[in-house]
Structure 1
Amino acid sequence: MDSNTLLFLIITLLVGGVGGAAVYSFFLNRKAGKSISSHEATVLIERIEKVFKVVMAEGYFTEIYNYENDKNIWNLINDRKKALIIAKAKVLVGYDFSKLKFHPVEGERRIIIDFFPKPEILSIDTDYKFYDIEQGWLNRFQSDDYTAILNEAKQTMNDKAMQSDLPRIAGNQVQLMIFQLAASMNWKIELQLSESNRIMLEEYASYRITEAEIDFLKTEKDK
């Protein structure tokens, strides 16, 4: 067998082997129903900032959000799309101490607080699930619709959290922390706030009266 014949035989075997492997892989994947997906992510850090934010209260919320949208087509057909969204959120409320204004009294172990900031939501960790999605013939959900729904649901969750007792809990917690910390180091804290700032602080320091009736358990002696 000359060299040309041998080279042709080797090339034929290689091509046949590669082709056979490809055919075998195709049928194997088709039989197993295997799907191959590719993922690529790019993380960009825009900026890093130093902050002094302290969490003082943590709350968990569940929101059931009904979305409906009607589209009138030529005043003949009412095309509706709707969805039920259940949102769960973990809300952290606290203070940004960079907004706190104070000054020490020279020659004394005393600090005067001139301005006390409002409690604020430091983060909301949300989880959304869509149920009962119905779409019309022409009035169908688009990517912008889902974005708008999630933004509105998040804003509603934000409002409900600020209307709850979380800000009041945070207000009491932060004052207790500041005064106890100062006392542990033999310092005194005095509040010299403006009238509006004082009223705001009092609002966030007092709890609302709970509108609920409590049935106390009766013991055998009371019966």
Structure 2
Amino acid sequence: MIKRILLGLGIIGSIFLLFKYCEFKKEDDSTTIDSTGLIQQQILNVGKLIVTEGHFSEVITYKNQQKYLLDMLSFEKKALVVVNADVTVAYDLHLMKYDIDSINKIITIVSIPKAEVKISPDIQFYDVEQSKLNPFTGEDYNKINKSVKANLAKKIEKSSLKTNAQNRLISELSKLLITTSQLGWTLKYDGKVIESEKEFGQQFKL
């Protein structure tokens, strides 16, 4: 009789433990689903267009010479060119690619779009000198425009504009890092685990 009672209690205890395990498992699965949703929401929040603006100015002198009669006769044209340019460096994080491993709680940033540099120059000509045998043409303006953009590109590389843009990018991505850390997830980029904003900076060589 006692054995039957003990056996019955054992069965009831096993059923109770099984029920509690299933309930715990259900709660754990629910937590994983909830955290995955929060991660996805944060990615949507991060997915925006980051634009950093700058202004550059320069003055150049354009000269061109046409020679005739075995170089004995020449006609020169020249102009003072004043350039004011608005420059933007943009990262479109809508284009960021990522992978979510909800089982192991790992989010991997697969790729981050490259910076898009847009140069919008305003070119003004002063002290223009030309002759009928060597007038300014569309080809001259194309050469000047190409030269201006090349010079501006060099200035941009030497300036802090790109670095400032990257800092803004890292600051935005760090919001995702904060969320993953709070939820117990791991964030990876370029094959490495990212644990701090500084490590993001190292990936961009800042």
Q: Shorter-chain-normalised TM-score: which range?
A: 0.5 to 0.7
Contact 1:84 1:130 in 2 (8 A): yes
Partner of 2:133: 138
C-alpha separation in 2, matches of 1:78 and 1:204: 52
Shift of the 120–164 alpha-carbon distance from structure 1 to 2, 3 Å rule, reads: farther
Partner of 1:34: none
Q: What TM-score does the superposition give when structure 1 sets the normalisation length?
A: 0.56
Shift of 1:67: 0.9
The correspondence for 1:101, drawn from 94, 97, 103, is 97
Instruction: Give yes or no for the alignment of 1:193 onto 2:190.
Output: yes
Aligned residue for 1:173, secondary structure, equals helix
Count of matched residue positions in the alignment of Structure 1 and Structure 2: 149
Cα RMSD after superposing both structures = 2.9
Partner of 2:160: 165
Shift of 1:141: 0.6
Q: Read off the aligned partner of 2:164 and give its amino acid letter.
A: I
C-alpha separation in 2, matches of 1:150 and 1:128: 8
C-alpha separation in 1, matches of 2:186 and 2:52: 23
Contact 2:98 2:110 in 1 (8 A): yes
Structure 1 runs (4+) greater than 6 angstroms displaced: none
C-alpha separation in 1, matches of 2:166 and 2:114: 8
The correspondence for 2:145, drawn from 147, 150, 168, is 150
Instruction: Give yes or no for the alignment of 1:177 onto 2:182.
Output: no
Segment drifting more, 112-121 vs 179-188: 179-188
Structure 2 gap ranges (5+): 1-46, 193-200
Instruction: Give yes or no for the alignment of 1:81 onto 2:42.
Output: no
Q: What TM-score does the superposition give when structure 2 sets the normalisation length?
A: 0.60
Contact 2:50 2:168 in 1 (8 A): no
Identity %: 28
Partner of 1:112: 108
Structure 1 gap ranges (5+): 1-51, 196-200, 207-223
Q: Read off the aligned partner of 1:170 and give its amino acid letter.
A: A
